[in-house]
Structure 1
């Protein structure tokens, strides 16, 4: 294992939205920063986590990215439909949102856009993944050669997502539930641009347009998964039992169903989320239930705030304690609002009193209320 000769101001581990924005902010503050990107989890040209809400506009404007983002041509999201708490569909349009419409992202292209912006600001992009943090340095593996190296930096931003490679060595991760997502992308389907959400007895479904086609996802708890859901036939059969989502892929025969993919979807937060020499951002700090539709927005916000916190610490070591305290308070505020909104949303669905999935959430909500 080879080591780097001179320490960097900062290393950002993770090339997703949180990491790229943290590196952008640090580079613009004049600091030498490396952004480590291990290639993502993107498969077959698609990466889940596709919705960007209208409220992102002020943040992108503040980062100087709004005009270029708007010119990049991501499909528009005009609102949502939901069968939640009732069999009937209820619509919510972005027409009256003060920030306008949202977007259905091509995540791989969006993430690359953010990394390019960080590089343009002066960050150095390295195709490498973090293996460990030892004595203040990072052990990384270069993607092209497989070489293992040690990288020294005064500060590290952990933006490694739910893996939380760095933060888990310093804090305790609290898991909200056992939610997982089984999802498939159909090459075509109904052209309706609104996202559709439908609650069912063992969880909920959603479908939305993405540049690759129509995404269909089922959310349930890992221990409640029917084994057949892991097969195209089983996924299609379960989809066929929905009332509304199935209509978005009507006309596609069972043989056209892709092999379902899987992703963790449970809420997760790290405590503490920052300490001497490191901060966590994005899903490494706070991961949200996809029902919130806030995951990417919060990744961008926490990435920007993490970058600013580290920049403050680098500029004045005497401010380290205050900067980390401010960042921690910021994350705590987000987590508190999220839990309140989570309780409200899941509390609206009362149709299946004997369902383990919904019963667990009612119990969690009632415990929180007391």
Structure 2
């Protein structure tokens, strides 16, 4: 048995660890001003439950000169007319985007979107290393030295990267910040169990339906697929309920509206299981010549439907901050301190806005005030 072993050195002005949506948007924007390197533990993106692009995301794509109507990415998205819901009432409510100045929302293929953004980053001159995991980091001589290793036991290739500034865009796990000993505050224990099924409905609106123990979400995806997810707290149901589709289907059958979307397509179900969906906040989002971006800084309850937009908007804010800064200036403690205060203030503002609206959304559902799930949302409405 042979193994590949190789060590390479690389220098860059800005290193972004995490090649997801936030990392790629930041890289594309920053590439106009700086030499940028992207690194990600995944060889290629994977599908995720969060697939909705709010109309306002179009502003970001326009600012970067990007168009989702790319001939190489057929079926990347579907236009979504809006949201239909049973929330706070047994009466169907509809919120459309027909008069939204930013246009319609979009249901996207997350894997294709990830590939699209990686490709656009490389076209802008960003250097990309895929399939490498953060191994260690060290700050000395006003630079970060980062070692990343191939995430493959048969391939021990490693890269040593010297960078003037580092961005942690590794999602909720915030791998880099965590390696520095920085903790996250978890404000609830929301999880999401999701699956995809063939779609036969002509209605492309998304759906949200609350029940006694959480809420359901459904949306049509490109290539005649539909995503269905259930959001609840991790301790309300026995974990066996979310182990496989057979056990999860018992929960599905309790909601007639959702069950109709699945009952005739059980042979085509792709069960993805459980992912974290709780609200979390990194306790320190910026330090000496580094910062946390997107979900690595703040992660949102999917009820907000703003996770992807906020990641993209945050990436653009970071880009503007760094474009107006000289990286050499940030080696000065006083100037780095000013930079840190400015970025922390931006993050706190986003968090305050999110908390306000999250509490309003959950507060609008009053039919199950004695249910543990809803009592927690009323009693534990959190503030900064």
After TM superposition, the score normalised by the length of structure 1 is: 0.90
Query: Following TM superposition, where does structure 1 have runs of at least 4 consecutive aligned residues deviating by more than 6 angstroms?
Result: none
Aligned length, in residue pairs:
362
Q: C-alpha separation between the residues in 2 aligned to 1:132 and 1:42?
A: 23
Preserved CA contact (<8 Å) 1:183 1:215: yes
Q: C-alpha separation between the residues in 1 aligned to 2:200 and 2:248?
A: 16
The counterpart of 1:174, out of the listed 185, 190, 200, is 185
Q: C-alpha separation between the residues in 2 aligned to 1:84 and 1:69?
A: 32
Q: C-alpha separation between the residues in 1 aligned to 2:192 and 2:274?
A: 6
266-275 or 167-176, larger mean C-alpha shift: 167-176
Give the C-alpha shift of residue 41 in structure 1.
Answer: 8.6
Q: State yes or no: 1:38 paired with 2:41.
A: yes
Q: C-alpha separation between the residues in 2 aligned to 1:368 and 1:100?
A: 32
- Which 5+ residue runs of structure 2 have no aligned equivalent? none
Give the C-alpha shift of residue 243 in structure 1.
Answer: 3.8
Q: Which residue does 2:363 correspond to in 1?
A: 347
Q: C-alpha separation between the residues in 2 aligned to 1:368 and 1:355?
A: 22
Preserved CA contact (<8 Å) 1:231 1:259: yes
Preserved CA contact (<8 Å) 1:155 1:310: no
The counterpart of 2:99, out of the listed 83, 96, 107, is 96
Q: State yes or no: 1:116 paired with 2:119.
A: yes
Give the C-alpha shift of residue 6 in structure 1.
Answer: 5.9
- Which 5+ residue runs of structure 1 have no aligned equivalent? none
The counterpart of 1:139, out of the listed 108, 126, 147, is 147
Q: C-alpha separation between the residues in 2 aligned to 1:129 and 1:248?
A: 39
Preserved CA contact (<8 Å) 1:178 1:222: yes
Give the C-alpha shift of residue 4 in structure 1.
Answer: 5.5
55-64 or 31-40, larger mean C-alpha shift: 31-40
Task: Quote the RMSD (CA, aligned, Å).
Answer: 2.3
SS in 1 for 2:16: strand
Q: State yes or no: 1:211 paired with 2:227.
A: no
SS in 2 for 1:259: strand
Q: Deviations over 1:223-262 (max 9, x none)?
A: 1133223221221121111142223334334x55443411
241-250 or 55-64, larger mean C-alpha shift: 241-250
Q: Deviations over 1:26-70 (max 9, x none)?
A: 2111x2221002227955xx33210001011222211221xx224
Q: Which residue does 2:245 correspond to in 1?
A: 232
326-335 or 307-316, larger mean C-alpha shift: 307-316
Q: C-alpha separation between the residues in 2 aligned to 1:259 and 1:297?
A: 26
The counterpart of 2:258, out of the listed 245, 251, 274, is 245
Give the C-alpha shift of residue 16 in structure 1.
Answer: 0.4
Q: Which residue does 1:294 correspond to in 2?
A: 306
SS in 1 for 2:56: helix
69-78 or 259-268, larger mean C-alpha shift: 69-78
Q: C-alpha separation between the residues in 2 aligned to 1:351 and 1:57?
A: 36
Q: C-alpha separation between the residues in 2 aligned to 1:147 and 1:310?
A: 31
Residues 1-370 of structure 1 correspond to what in structure 2 (within 5 A)?
Answer: 5=9, 7-29=11-33, 31-39=34-42, 46-65=47-66, 68-71=67-70, 73-127=76-130, 128-135=132-139, 136-143=144-151, 145-168=155-178, 169=180, 171-211=182-222, 213-226=225-238, 227-253=240-266, 256-311=268-323, 312-314=325-327, 316-317=329-330, 319-365=335-381, 368=383
SS in 2 for 1:82: strand
SS in 2 for 1:207: strand
355-364 or 224-233, larger mean C-alpha shift: 224-233
Preserved CA contact (<8 Å) 2:289 2:336: no
Q: C-alpha separation between the residues in 2 aligned to 1:108 and 1:232?
A: 22
Give the C-alpha shift of residue 356 in structure 1.
Answer: 1.1
After TM superposition, the score normalised by the length of structure 2 is: 0.87
Q: 1:216/1:42 Cα in 2 relative to 1: closer, same or farther (>3 Å)?
A: farther
Q: C-alpha separation between the residues in 1 aligned to 2:192 and 2:43?
A: 18
SS in 1 for 2:380: helix
Preserved CA contact (<8 Å) 1:138 1:150: yes
Q: C-alpha separation between the residues in 1 aligned to 2:147 and 2:171?
A: 17
